[in-house]
Amino acid sequence: MSAKNDSREKILTAATRLFHIQGYHATGLNQILKESGAPKGSLYYHFPNGKEQLAIEAVEVMALYIESDVKEHMAQFDDPVKGIHFHIKSIAKKFDDIENLKSLPVGLLAAETSLISEPMRKACQNTFKRWEQIYCNKLIETGYEPAFAEDISIVINCMIEGAITRSLTNKNGSPLYLIADSIQLLLRK
């Protein structure tokens, strides 16, 4: 990896972590630079649109990470109910050790920035749609009607995002466990 790419990756890694644990507004460019160890000039060289561009790319990093988890969890089960249940429980377990929570999902960044940044709103919206499509595809391939699968996938994602917010305030994963156990009620055939 070249020094230029290394510097870019260090900045993006630091920004992703900070945006996801502190939020958009609480994270400053100087803090990102300090944590990344990258020279100041490299930030605007690699991210000419500054903080907003960094946040959009950070959303993409988190989107890919969670997308990979969702796909992996869904692939472990033929039954989508079991796959979704397992996926939500795996998220809940992370909140049971809240002091060591490494990052927060995209929903909190979306809530913080969607009314002030159209590019951020679109990045978050596209991320949600990608995750929902994974649930939808699994439901359709196992016999659910496409319209129902599409709608219920949005509901599932909204439940997860809401339960994440509640889990933060509870300082544990209990809201996520509750919705994990409710998935079978939503997906009865």
CATH class of 51-186: mainly alpha
- Using H for helix, E for strand and C for coil, what is the string for the chain? CCHHHHHHHHHHHHHHHHHHHHCCCCCCHHHHHHHHCCCHHHHHHHCCCHHHHHHHHHHHHHHHHHHHHHHHHHHCCCCHHHHHHHHHHHHHHHHCCHHHCCCCCHHHHHHHHCCCCHHHHHHHHHHHHHHHHHHHHHHHHCCCCHHHHHHHHHHHHHHHHHHHHHHHHHCCCHHHHHHHHHHHHHCCC
Predicted pLDDT at 159: 96
| pLDDT less than 50: residues of the chain | none
At 150 the pLDDT is 98
**Residue 52: what pLDDT?**
94
pLDDT tens by residue, 47-75:
999 999 999 999 999 899 999 999 999 99
Rounded to two decimals, the pTM is 0.89
pLDDT value for 104: 65
